[in-house]
Amino acid sequence: MAIPRSSWTGCPKLLLMVRPKQIVGVYLAAGSSRRMGTAKQSLELAAGICLGGLALLKALACAELAQVIVVVRQGDALHWLPEAAHNQLASGRCRLIVSPDAELGMAHSLRAGIQAAEESEADGVMVMLADQPFIDGSTLEELIAAFNVEVGCDFVASGDSGVPKPPVILGRGMWPAASALKGDTGARVLFHLPAFRGQIIEAASLTFMDVDTVERYKEAKDIYKHQIMLS
């Protein structure tokens, strides 16, 4: 059951120093872009800045992620991959996985990412979506810090006014259930089950902007331009 952090008391906190849990990023970039009508990962928010690469850069910049697994669909030319990803592919920290059943829905891409993570000794996976370009690095760090400090908890999710949404960390104990999902069903359906316990950490509303229509794409371009002007 998911309970907002402010009222969450289900799992005791460790007061002693412990080994940080190993977390692997699972970056879902295998969507069909049906609503957009074109492969949205390659859409540019500015010259040379592709939609699908922005959140990936945040994941790669997060030192607490031992590895970042990028799940793509068959035939993706990967023009949207940023240069930093190519560099980390060479080192092995970034890894590309093709989801053979991507056309069946997001759950099948999640399954492919989890199966790849199972080859490691990871304690959890951080699930991120390629069409959420405005994920903030501090949000990722806060989720990881919470997952590290809480004992016996299965997930830590970002909260949109109390509603759990990606980015979300799924502990290893949730992987079999998450891998059994089908179609476009996300892991959120599992958070209300009594078998799993976790917490929700509120995040800025811009974190959850899902660029899945032409109108949203235009809005995202304006937001990105504004952010660049302020930086």
153: CATH: 3.90.550.10
Q: What is residue 151's predicted lDDT score, i.e. its pLDDT?
A: 81
**Could you tell me if residue 68 is inside a domain?**
yes
Q: Please, are residues 55 and 27 in contact by the beta-carbon 8 Å criterion? A: yes
Domain range enclosing 146: 2-6+31-230
**Could you tell me if residue 221 is inside a domain?**
yes
The predicted-structure confidence for 106-156, as pLDDT tens digits, reads as follows: 999 999 999 999 999 999 999 999 999 999 999 999 999 999 998 888 999
Note the pTM of the prediction, 2 decimals: 0.90
**Could you tell me if residue 23 is inside a domain?**
no
Q: What angle do CA 166, 204, 181 make, to 5 degrees?
A: 10
Residue segments in the chain with a per-residue pLDDT below the cut of 50 = 3, 5-17
Sign of CA dihedral 136, 24, 161, 49: positive
Q: What is residue 216's predicted lDDT score, i.e. its pLDDT?
A: 92
Count of domains for the chain: 1
Region for 217 from its dihedrals, namely left if φ exceeds 0, alpha if ψ lies in -120 to 50, beta otherwise: alpha
Q: Please, are residues 204 and 136 in contact by the beta-carbon 8 Å criterion? A: yes
Q: Please, are residues 178 and 190 in contact by the beta-carbon 8 Å criterion? A: yes
**Could you tell me if residue 200 is inside a domain?**
yes
The residue among 31, 82, 40 whose CA lies nearest residue 61 is 82
**6 phi and psi, to 5 degrees?**
-60, -25
Instruction: Tally the residues of the chain.
Output: 231
Q: What is residue 5's predicted lDDT score, i.e. its pLDDT?
A: 47
Q: What is residue 3's predicted lDDT score, i.e. its pLDDT?
A: 46
Q: What is residue 231's predicted lDDT score, i.e. its pLDDT?
A: 72
